[in-house]
Homo-oligomer: A and B are copies of this chain.
Amino acid sequence: MVEEAPYLSIAQRKRAQRASSIPPSWILPPSALPSPLPLNLLSLPLTSGFLTPLEIAITSTHDVVSLSSLIRARTLTSETIVTAFCKRAALAQQLCNCLTEILFSSAISRAKLLDDEYTRTGKLRSPLHGIPISLKDTFKIKGYDSSIGIASLAEKPAEENSLLVDILLEKGAVLYCKTNVPQTLMALDSDNNVFGRVLNPRNTRLTSGGSSGGEGALIAMRGSVLGVGTDIGGSIRIPAMCNGLYGIKPSSQRVPYVGQESAALPGASKLGISASAGPLATSLRDCELFLQAISDSSPWERDPFISFAPWSSQGSLSSKPLIGILYTDGITTPLPPITSLLTSVHQTLQSSTIDTLEITSPALKKCQSLANSFFSIDGYSHIFSLLSTTSEPLIPWLSTRLRPKPPISLENLRELQAKKTELETEMLKIWRCPKTGRTVDAIICPVAPHPVPPVDRWNGVGYTSSWVLMDYPAGTLPVRDVVEGDLAGEVDESSPPLSNWDKANRELCK
């Protein structure tokens, strides 16, 4: 008799536990859904009959800023808002498989307490008071797992909160669910053996992105108004792109990342490049509100890695801004729809009062390889050891990409660091116009060299990971959907591909 691999029974228990955390009255019967299911799931919660008109109104159109003002004005209670988002998140989970840990019951209790506190004191703790916030599974909440889709990390409830969780609770936020991720966090599709794959609710044939892919799908489904993700190669910005959201990856020393589960041993994050935590949201002002709330908590007093940087509003620019446009990183030429979209952004800026400058940098094309080298310095030894404990295999996409190898030597790491400093120094030049000497205020570039691809076809992360290597703040802004006119261009097949990434990218067009 062949014994079942231990990871399978863990996955079964975790999925059962998750299902049982949704109140039975919120479970969608097949009759509430069209058959077959459409590729686009976004409207299904509205037509399911499970949400009241008020719940639809609360969850469909508001952002944190407007919800917070309704709480302040006592137009809505936190309990009403939190319940509405719990319910819609439950529907999103059943349609997109976007959640891991579900805390609906304790969240609604907490919302009531926060309402009482406001009634009693007349004071809101912050603009996050009473607001439901979803968290990527990596964040630890005392008493709940942070399994990040690895069976051997499951059924080990956290003994303490991540610092960011403490801060959000102090600020009055209501934490009500954690969201699904790729196994090991090192994939761009949020698929794992414990919880399964997150579906992209805008088109279930396409990827929802990763590693904060559960956040992306949940917020696109309006099952969350604001979520917190993490990003070391594009893991906030890629799901934001896939799901039409705003997503900000701050520089690493801004938002506390400490105390998360990341399938790495303590200290490992200090050897290579540093991940950031940051918001995914439906409005830019919500991203700003979140970042300001965190900064206002003086996180540098509790996390030694955070810079002392009190929030200062940027105000208006003193002169005409200069916006850099980066059409290509020099190793993967964006496909025609991306270039078309970027061109139309460029033209829109040019026809306004904003000056633009086309940015190129020979250093940029070296960034993706270097970032990849940093990602693998330990030879994945800890990850493979975690998987072997429960005989868990790699997910299909990783199975052809991740192989155990020896850790690099101290001398190799020194060489990588030297190369990094060299590229960082070279890249500083992109912030100044070579002709006029003017400072570039911001740079617009693609999130990826291709539109949102089918599942397991994301190709290369140079357009996102390079800004982690540089530790620049970077974010995804939704511009518009790709339209038929964007598809008109053709890949210039007469020129040889610039790299293997470029070759794979061209394949996406075929």
Contact = CB atoms under 8 A, between A and B. Distances in A.
A326 B267 CA distance: 29
Interface in A394-433: 407-411, 413-422, 424-425, 427-428, 431-432
A267 B409 contact: no
A306 to B, nearest CB: 10
B410 A267 contact: no
Contacts of A413: 267, 271, 410, 413
Contacts of A427: 304
A409 B307 CA distance: 29
Interface in A246-289: 258, 265-268, 270-271
Nearest to A412: B410
Interface centre among A268, A408, A419 (most CB of B within 10 A): A268
A305 interface: yes
A302 interface: yes
A301 interface: yes
7 nearest A-B pairs in the assembled complex, by CB-CB distance: A267-B418, A304-B424, A267-B417, A266-B418, A270-B417, A267-B414, A407-B410
A456 interface: no
10 contacts: A258-B425, A266-B414, A267-B413, A267-B419, A270-B417, A301-B428, A304-B428, A305-B424, A407-B411, A413-B413
Interface residues of A, number: 37
A390 B171 CA distance: 63
A404 to B, nearest CB: 15
A377 interface: yes
A145 B266 CA distance: 42
A55 interface: no
A414 B410 CA distance: 11
Given A307-B307, A407-B409, A431-B301, A271 B425 contact: no
B267 A421 contact: yes
Interface string A4-22: 0000000000000000000
A392 interface: no
Contacts of A63: none
A410 B272 CA distance: 11
Nearest to A377: B410
B428 A378 contact: no
Given A265-B414, A271-B271, A407-B411, 17 more contacts: A258-B421, A266-B418, A267-B414, A267-B420, A268-B417, A270-B414, A270-B418, A270-B420, A270-B421, A271-B413, A271-B414, A301-B432, A302-B428, A305-B421, A307-B307, A409-B410, A413-B413
Nearest to A423: B304
Contacts of A307: 307
A470 B417 CA distance: 21
B410 A408 contact: yes
A418 B265 contact: yes
Given A427-B304, A428-B304, A267 B407 contact: no
Nearest to A407: B410
Given A409-B410, A410-B407, A410-B410, A416 B304 contact: no
Interface string A468-498: 0010000000000000000000000000000
B410 A378 contact: yes
Interface in A273-328: 301-305, 307
Contacts of A304: 421, 424-425, 427-428, 470
Contacts of A470: 304
A417 B270 CA distance: 6
A271 B414 CA distance: 7
Nearest to A163: B425
Contacts of A303: 425
Contacts of A431: 301
Contacts of A422: 266
A271 B417 contact: yes
A224 to B, nearest CB: 30
A258 B425 CA distance: 10
B302 A416 contact: no
Contacts of A408: 410
